[in-house]
Amino acid sequence: MAYHQFTNETGEQYGSFETFFYYDVLPKTQHRLGDRGWYWHACQPGCLPEGDLSGPFETEQDAIKDATEFV
């Protein structure tokens, strides 16, 4: 799990998002995740997520790229 900053076109940082890898060990009835892979969601460190999950992605870099292109 890692936190990253959103950055706008002028380079200003605001908000953050978290990336993490899910191993698909829980029955799907017990979580809101999908398949095994990398995910991201908007989240401030120490706080609950602020939006829907995006993923799964094959690599963490793919998840980060999707998060930063999303903005």
- Domain boundaries of the chain, sorted by first residue: 2-70
Please give the full DSSP string across 23-51, using - where no structure is assigned.
---S-GGG-S--SSEEEEEE--TTS---S
pLDDT for 26-64, tens place per residue?
666 555 667 889 999 988 777 888 888 899 999 999 998
The three-class DSSP label of residue 58 is: coil
Kindly give, in sequence order, each residue whose CB lies less than 8 Å from that of residue 48, ignoring residues fewer than 6 positions away. none
Q: Tell me, what's the pLDDT at 60? A: 94
Q: Tell me, what's the pLDDT at 70? A: 58
pTM given for the model: 0.72
Q: Which two tokens stand for residue 15?
A: 């908000």
Q: Which residue has the higher pLDDT, 22 or 45?
A: 22
Q: Tell me, what's the pLDDT at 51? A: 80
